[in-house]
Amino acid sequence: MPMRYVDEYRDREKAQALAAKIATLCEPGRRYGLMEICGGHTHTIYKHGIEDYLPEAVQLVHGPGCPVCVIPMGRVDDAIWIAEQEGVILTSFGDLLRVPGGRGSFLDAKARGSDIRMVYSPLDSLRIARENPDRRVVFMAIGFETTTPSTAMTVLRAAAEGLDNFSVFCNHVTIIPALQAILASPDIHIDGFIGPGHVSTVIGCEPYRFIAEERGRPFVVAGFEPLDILQSIQMLLLQLHEGRSEVENQYTRVVPWEGNQRALQAIDEVMEPRPTFEWRGLGWIPDSAMQVREKYARFDAERIFTLPANRVADPPACQCGEVLRGTIKPWECRVFGTACTPETPIGTCMVSSEGACAAYYNFGRFTRLRVRQASSA
């Protein structure tokens, strides 16, 4: 099958037309802070140079929706501790391998002799468990509602197969409590939200209603191609221009308004909300994460192992929390690009390609500045 579907969402002429509309919607003297919640959007914005199409008055604020970025160091250490136990194979998505805990990253643990393997899907962990019946295979489960269903389905599959040497170390988080936490912080300047497309395929658009109706911020669920993002920005500015504050769905080709009931049922069958969970940089947020239900306890690494559960404070120099809340730009962090770089990250935002700091460092450095200089010259 020829995979050419992406091209129509990257058309320059359409981009220029949208950019012109965006410019006319900006009221003179007004500044617009728009938060893209999802790290996938942050990555797209920098990778394609979308900011080059935006007027100075529109500032994109990078949100907390990068799953790797919000994992606290203590959970990374716990996972490494699991990997160090006799007979354990720890499986993980690739972008987590370099995330620093208090005792180094998964890659460092691997170099010390732990058996840590990269997988592309939690189902790959089941295969490893089948092939290694005398080992204990633990999947490091992370992510928002986008990836939670596949972890839940994997547990259900393991239960159906009776694959008792498999378990998950559940670190799944939920987006709504994080948004509530951000909206509650006093120092934010956000006029509207570019909503997370992938998460919304699962939870739908209804849960965001309080943001539009009670908090008065327009909210547009957006796709991941550059034109999707530009169009969402245009939709947000149009709402602001017309004095509306609604939840709109730009990503209708993928996101059903009511979400995916089967995925939600699978999550509900296997998992339940935790009373509280620590987020990197944001601290403890009530009801913001999922844990495995008692019924599936034999697949729950937190019940199988007695975890040290050490709390590891974020390094004092790290300002990931402020970056994740959108109160500072990546380059405004004290250690950005000097002590904290993609090679030697201090904070998680510098690790994942979806992290705001890594995206800005790897792709965005200089370019917007130069475009601005060139256009003012």
Partner 1 sequence: MTQRTEKEVLERIERIRRRPPKITDERITLSHGSGGKATHTLIEALFLDAFRNPLLEPLEDQAVFTIGSARLAFTTDTYVVSPLFFPGGDIGDLAVNGTVNDLAVSGARPLHLSAGFVLEEGFPVADLRRIVASMAAAAERAGVQIVTGDTKVVQRGKADSCFINTAGIGVLERPVRLSVSAARPGDAVIVSGPIGDHGITIMLARGELGIESDLRSDTAPLTELVGLLLDAAPSTRFIRDATRGGVATICNELAEASGVAVILDEEAIPVRPEVRGASEILGIDPLYVACEGRFVAVVGGDDTDAALAALRSHPEGAAAALIGRIGDDPPGLVLVRTEFGGMRIVDMLVGDPLPRIC
| Residues contacting residue 357 through CB under 8 Å, at least 6 positions apart | 320, 323, 330, 333, 336, 340, 347, 349, 350
- Pick the stretch among 7-15, 75-83, 186-194, 264-272 that binds partner 1 (CB under 8 A): 7-15
Q: Are 339 and 202 in contact (CB under 8 A)?
A: no
Does position 46 interact with partner 1 (CB under 8 A)? The reply is: yes
102 touching partner 1, by CB under 8 A: no
Applying CB under 8 A, which of residues 55, 84, 102, 108 lies at the interface with partner 1? 108
330 within 8 A of 360, measured Cβ to Cβ: yes
Return the range that interacts with partner 1 (CB under 8 A); candidates 105-113, 238-246, 275-283, 302-310: 105-113
Q: Kindly state the tokens that stand for 193.
A: 């939200």
Contact pattern for partner 1 over residues 49 through 88, marking x by CB under 8 A: xxxxx-----------------------------------
Q: Does 2 bind partner 1 (CB under 8 A)?
A: yes
Closest approach, Cβ 67 to partner 1, in A, equals 13
Distances (CA, A) of 177 to 65, 170, 210, 215, 339: 12, 18, 12, 14, 31
Q: Minimum CB separation from partner 1 for residue 215, in Å? A: 30
Per the CB < 8 A criterion, the answer to whether 68 and 42 are in contact is no
Burial label, 47 (beta-carbon count in 10 A; 0-12, 13-18, 19+): middle
188 interacts with partner 1 by CB under 8 A: no
Smallest distance, partner 1 to C-beta of residue 118, A = 6
Is residue 111 at the binding interface for partner 1, with CB under 8 A as the rule? yes
Q: Strand pairing of 115-118 and 88-92? A: parallel
Q: According to the binding rule CB under 8 A, does residue 98 interact with partner 1? A: yes
Q: CA torsion, points 176, 63, 292, 277, in degrees to nearest 10?
A: -90
User: From residue 167, how far is each of 66, 151, 218, 239, 317 by CA, in Å?
Assistant: 24, 10, 40, 46, 35
Q: What sign for the dihedral angle of Cα 248, 253, 264, 3?
A: negative
Stretch touching partner 1 by CB under 8 A, among 153-161, 258-266, 267-275, 365-373: 365-373
Q: Under rule CB under 8 A, which residues in 332-351 are in contact with partner 1?
A: 332, 334, 336-338, 342-344
Can residue 367 be called a binding residue for partner 1 (CB under 8 A)? yes
Q: Which residues bind partner 1 (CB under 8 A)?
A: 2-4, 6, 10, 12, 15-16, 46-53, 94, 97-98, 107-108, 110-112, 118-120, 124, 226, 329, 331-332, 334, 336-338, 342-344, 353, 361-367, 369-371
